[in-house]
């Protein structure tokens, strides 16, 4: 029986809050900074909490396979960031966050099938219900017609790449018996790769719609710093979940993050939800409650 108050599960709930708020913070910044510049900065700032954590836990002998796996995982991590912010710049945060369920869905399947994790029947049902609810939020169009927004496809691919990243990194974490250093290596290499891509293709924006007043500039960079630290911190939290062998349940909890995003999107960004989408949010809440009692 999994203790719902264990550090790994508490880390998953903290991860859910970060997932729920990150899209909103990033959307605010993207309008003023540009997607490529923001992607590079976020990846760079996110290295800081990982450096601190590695310094705290220390480093022991690192097998070559751990380094190779971490470098390989970084390709998927960096590619996911480029695609994610490309779509977030133009699309509603509610839809972007809902598509994030693709990633934990793959990880839940991986945790149960490949790692042999066991979850209670109620938790498993709750995870499925969350995914069904978020699909409703994503695919419901106007009236009875269901539509697919092609501009959201980069989000689909981004979350698939991030799921592959975590699958690859899981093996590095298990070979090293710790998640701190593999996370740091993957993040640092991803930062170098994305920075190189942006500079090579002259993608970093020259013109930025930055605020003109000093207080607004200060607030903008405060949000950038917080977003980067939260993003890097989320990777540490998810590493905690993987290291504790609760990939399935932990990622099911994180999967509830888009519920918070939907609320933020509705009241702060004016996102519009159809009746079917509202029903999807309600279904996903029921799934989250089921996991809580599982």
The residues spanned by each domain of the chain are: 17-293
Distance CA 241, CA 250 (A): 6
Total count of residues recorded for the chain: 294
pLDDT in tens, the chain (294 residues): 455 557 777 888 888 888 788 888 888 888 778 888 889 999 999 999 999 989 988 888 889 999 999 999 999 999 999 999 988 888 888 777 777 766 766 766 676 766 676 766 776 787 787 778 767 766 655 555 666 667 778 888 898 899 889 889 888 988 887 888 999 999 999 999 999 998 887 766 554 555 555 557 788 888 888 888 888 888 788 777 777 777 667 767 777 777 788 788 888 888 877 777 778 777 776 776 576 555
Instruction: Find where tokens 């020259």 sit.
Output: 206
């Amino acid at each position: 029986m999994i203790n719902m108050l264990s550090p790994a599960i508490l880390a998953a709930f903290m991860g859910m809050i970060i997932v729920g708020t990150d899209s909103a913070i990033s959307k605010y910044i993207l309008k003023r900074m540009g997607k490529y510049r923001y992607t590079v900065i976020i990846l760079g700032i996110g290295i800081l909490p990982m450096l601190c954590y590695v310094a705290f836990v220390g480093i022991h002998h690192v097998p070559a396979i751990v380094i190779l796996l971490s470098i390989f995982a970084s390709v998927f991590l960096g590619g996911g960031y480029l695609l994610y912010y490309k779509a977030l710049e133009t699309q509603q945060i509610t839809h972007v966050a809902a598509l994030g369920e693709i990633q934990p869905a793959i990880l839940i399947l991986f945790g149960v099938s490949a790692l042999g994790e066991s979850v209670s029947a109620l938790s498993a049902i709750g995870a499925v219900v969350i995914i069904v609810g978020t699909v409703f939020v994503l695919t419901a169009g106007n009236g009875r017609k269901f539509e697919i927004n092609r501009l959201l496809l980069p989000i689909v691919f981004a979350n698939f790449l991030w799921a592959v990243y975590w699958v690859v990194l899981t093996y590095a974490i298990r070979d090293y018996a710790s998640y701190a250093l593999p996370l740091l290596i993957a993040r640092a290499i991803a930062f170098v790769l994305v920075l190189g891509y942006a500079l090579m293709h002259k993608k970093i924006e020259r013109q930025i719609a930055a605020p003109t007043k000093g207080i607004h500039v200060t607030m903008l960079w405060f949000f950038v710093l917080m977003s980067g630290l939260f993003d890097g911190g989320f990777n540490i939290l998810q590493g905690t979940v993987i290291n504790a062998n609760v990939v399935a349940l932990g990622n099911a909890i994180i999967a509830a993050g888009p519920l918070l995003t939907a609320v933020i999107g509705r009241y702060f960004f004016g996102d519009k939800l159809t009746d079917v989408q509202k029903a999807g949010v309600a279904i996903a809440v029921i799934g989250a409650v089921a996991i809580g009692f599982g």
